[in-house]
């Protein structure tokens, strides 16, 4: 097997070999290459010690963020390359980091410590592919399998439980039975992993091509209760409504799969109906309703997003979509669309329409989305024509009003709100002269 290696990485490998050391690309770059994908980055493993690596690359720009673990980074204009000394690791007392690291001269010993067989391969042009744990076979079979004893591998770093789900979801693989059983038995140990590391893996799962596979895997392995227990009441929840032939959970997964891979959009898809089990009512005809579920979903979603330590911006963008997802109608007027644009902004408006389309397509019966496509066309037209939809777009501002004699205070806000309401209906009237005429007529100075 021949793997194409970028020149700047090949130069690093050749330089190490020319100085008498072993060197290979390793891990994800080998896995991706075997699968016919172009790697996003390349890591190099070597028999050289950190001191020896620095000596070999004297005169190069380097830095060492993990020198105690044997890692030196060589900086090239094409990209940074991590070079790590072969190592073996001691016991993982905290289920995250080894108690100690020892450098070794054996490539196989270094590969043995890695998480999954598909990540435990190495390659250089001189020796070809080094695959002591049958990673290529597992790629062909579509399997995620731990290197060696899965209980030992997962106990070393409990995040590997979620990483198994992530790789299976991203690659559309299965988790082999022994690894799967170990993941289930050790699932509660995720409590020992920092929420930031869990969050980052979870985000990669929901941004994959078919995130529902990852959520279903998490459910089967007992991980939902560790990461997003708020979703569990939705499982099997019968909506008792002619518009829904699926449970809340099944509907949520369909919406998730039908949305573009934008993080806050995918999060909104996951959370948009999470409040339904708490707002369920049945009318005299036996039909289920969920009045106010959007507000309840915002409340529950906010607690979840705060708990996994999302940024304020991400929380706001996500919850705005959840809050607005029911705000659509074939009868929605242009003025209402502009008000919605004012509330959530241009980019999020497009994401909202994507969420609303996905929501409609995931329901029972006739799936009319023409009015939503028309809404998207109107939004594009408003933006392309620079039609005003918020106070900042008005041809006059508070300073203009103060200059002609209005005092700072509530009156200025009241005038600007009136003018905005006017130009929402009459975008052609958004010019300073006309707006000042309206102000003088309706709010004359004493």
> Tens digits of per-residue pLDDT, 222-270?
999 999 999 999 999 999 988 888 999 999 999 999 999 999 999 999 9
Provide the edge-to-edge strand list for the sheet that holds 122-124: 62-66, 71-76, 79-85, 43-46, 23-26, 122-124, 128-130
In this prediction, residue 89 has a pLDDT band, given cuts at 50, 70 and 90, of: confident
CB atoms within 10 A of CB 283: 9
Judged against a pLDDT cut of 60, whether residue 95 lies above it is answered with: no
The answer to whether residues 344 and 321 touch, using CB atoms and an 8 Å cutoff, is yes
Q: Which of 76, 75, 67, 63 is nearest to 49 (CA)?
A: 67
Report DSSP letters for 310-359, one per residue.
--HHHHHHHHHHHHHTT---TT--HHHHHHHHHHH-HHHHHHHHHHHHHH
Report DSSP letters for 132-182, one per residue.
TT-HHHHHHHTEE-BSS-HHHHHHH-THHHHHHHHHHHHHT-EEPHHHHHH
State the average pLDDT for the chain: 93
Write out the CATH class of domain 142-226. mainly alpha
In this prediction, residue 367 has a pLDDT band, given cuts at 50, 70 and 90, of: confident
The answer to whether residues 255 and 302 touch, using CB atoms and an 8 Å cutoff, is no
Query: Cβ-count burial of 417 within 10 angstroms (0-12 exposed, 13-18 middle, 19+ buried)?
Result: exposed
Contacts of 138 (CB under 8 A, 6+ apart): 116, 117, 118, 144, 145, 176
E strand intervals along 59-104: 62-66, 71-76, 79-85, 87-89, 101-103
Judged against a pLDDT cut of 90, whether residue 366 lies above it is answered with: no
Judged against a pLDDT cut of 90, whether residue 97 lies above it is answered with: no
The Cβ-side half-sphere exposure at 69, using a 13 Å CA radius, reads 15
In this prediction, residue 337 has a pLDDT band, given cuts at 50, 70 and 90, of: very high
* Mean pLDDT, residues 349-372 taken together: 89
- Domain borders along the chain are 7-134, 142-226, 228-387, 391-442
Domain 228-387 has CATH 1.10.10: no
Cα–Cα distance measured from residue 92 to residue 192, given in angstroms and rounded to the nearest whole number: 12
Helix boundaries (H) for 38-114: 50-56, 107-112
pLDDT tens sequence across 371-422: 999 999 999 999 998 899 999 999 999 999 998 888 888 889 999 999 999 9
The pLDDT, as a whole number, for residue 38 is 93
pLDDT tens sequence across 281-291: 999 999 999 99
In this prediction, residue 365 has a pLDDT band, given cuts at 50, 70 and 90, of: low
The pLDDT, as a whole number, for residue 444 is 82
pTM: 0.90
* Mean pLDDT, residues 362-373 taken together: 84
In this prediction, residue 363 has a pLDDT band, given cuts at 50, 70 and 90, of: confident
Q: Find the radius of gyration of the CA atoms of the chain.
A: 29
The pLDDT, as a whole number, for residue 90 is 66
Cα–Cα distance measured from residue 125 to residue 2, given in angstroms and rounded to the nearest whole number: 7
Structure-token pair, residue 4: 């194409």
* Mean pLDDT, residues 314-329 taken together: 96
Judged against a pLDDT cut of 70, whether residue 94 lies above it is answered with: no
* Mean pLDDT, residues 37-48 taken together: 95
* Mean pLDDT, residues 262-279 taken together: 97
In this prediction, residue 82 has a pLDDT band, given cuts at 50, 70 and 90, of: very high
Judged against a pLDDT cut of 90, whether residue 292 lies above it is answered with: yes
Judged against a pLDDT cut of 80, whether residue 214 lies above it is answered with: yes
b/e per residue 316-353 (b: at least 16 CB within 10 A): ebbbbbbbbbbebeeebebeebbbbbbbbeeebbbbbb
Helix boundaries (H) for 176-292: 177-186, 195-206, 211-220, 224-227, 248-257, 263-271
Contacts of 164 (CB under 8 A, 6+ apart): 116, 144, 146, 175, 179, 183
The pLDDT, as a whole number, for residue 446 is 65
The pLDDT, as a whole number, for residue 373 is 94
Contacts of 216 (CB under 8 A, 6+ apart): 253
Structure-token pair, residue 7: 């020149």
Cα–Cα distance measured from residue 121 to residue 128, given in angstroms and rounded to the nearest whole number: 11
CB atoms within 10 A of CB 204: 18
* Mean pLDDT, residues 86-107 taken together: 77
Structure-token pair, residue 389: 């939809």
Give the strand pairing for 143-144 and 174-175.
parallel
Judged against a pLDDT cut of 70, whether residue 207 lies above it is answered with: yes
Cα–Cα distance measured from residue 399 to residue 391, given in angstroms and rounded to the nearest whole number: 13
Please give the CATH superfamily to which domain 7-134 belongs. Beta Polymerase, domain 2 (3.30.460.10)
Judged against a pLDDT cut of 90, whether residue 188 lies above it is answered with: yes
């Amino acid at each position: 097997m021949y793997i194409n290696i970028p020149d700047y990485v090949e130069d690093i490998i050749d330089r190490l070999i020319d100085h008498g050391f072993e060197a290979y690309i390793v891990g994800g770059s080998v896995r991706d290459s075997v699968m016919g994908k172009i790697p996003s980055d390349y890591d190099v493993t070597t028999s050289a010690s950190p001191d020896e690596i620095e000596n070999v690359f004297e005169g190069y720009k380097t830095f060492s963020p993990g020198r105690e673990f044997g890692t030196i980074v060589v900086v090239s204009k094409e990209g940074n390359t991590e070079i790590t000394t072969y190592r073996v690791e001691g016991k993982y007392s905290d289920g995250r980091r080894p108690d100690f690291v020892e450098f070794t001269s054996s490539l196989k010993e270094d590969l043995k410590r890695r998480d999954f067989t598909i990540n435990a391969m190495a390659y250089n042009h001189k020796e070809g592919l080094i695959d002591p744990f049958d990673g290529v076979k597992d790629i062909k079979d579509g399997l995620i399998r731990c290197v060696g004893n899965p209980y030992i591998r997962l106990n070393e770093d409990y995040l590997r439980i979620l990483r198994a789900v992530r790789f299976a979801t991203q690659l559309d693989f299965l988790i082999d039975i022994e690894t799967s059983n170990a993941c289930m038995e050790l699932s509660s140990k995720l409590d020992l992993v920092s929420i930031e590391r869990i969050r980052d893996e979870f985000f990669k799962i929901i941004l994959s091509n078919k995130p529902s596979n990852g959520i279903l895997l998490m459910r089967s392995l007992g991980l939902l209760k560790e990461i997003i227990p708020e979703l569990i009441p939705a499982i099997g929840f019968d909506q008792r409504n002619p518009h829904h032939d699926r449970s809340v959970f099944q509907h949520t997964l369909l919406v998730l799969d039908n949305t573009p891979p934008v993080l806050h959009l995918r999060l909104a898809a996951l959370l948009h109906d999470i409040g339904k089990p708490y707002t369920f009512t049945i009318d005299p005809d036996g039909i289920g309703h969920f009045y106010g579920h959007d507000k309840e979903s915002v409340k529950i979603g906010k607690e979840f997003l705060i708990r996994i330590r999302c940024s304020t911006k991400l929380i706001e963008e996500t919850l705005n979509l959840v809050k607005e997802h029911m705000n659509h109608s074939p009868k929605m007027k242009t003025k209402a669309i502009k008000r919605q644009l004012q509330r959530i902004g241009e980019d999020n408006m497009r994401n909202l329409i994507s969420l609303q389309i996905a929501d409609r397509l995931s329901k029972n019966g006739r799936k009319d989305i023409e009015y939503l496509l028309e809404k998207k066309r109107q939004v594009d037209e408003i933006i392309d024509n620079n039609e005003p939809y918020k106070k900042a777009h008005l041809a006059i501002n508070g300073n203009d009003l103060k200059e002609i004699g209005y005092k700072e205070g509530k009156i200025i806000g009241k005038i600007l709100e009136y003018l905005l309401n006017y130009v929402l209906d009459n975008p052609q009237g958004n010019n300073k002269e006309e707006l000042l005429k309206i102000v003088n007529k309706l709010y004359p100075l004493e």
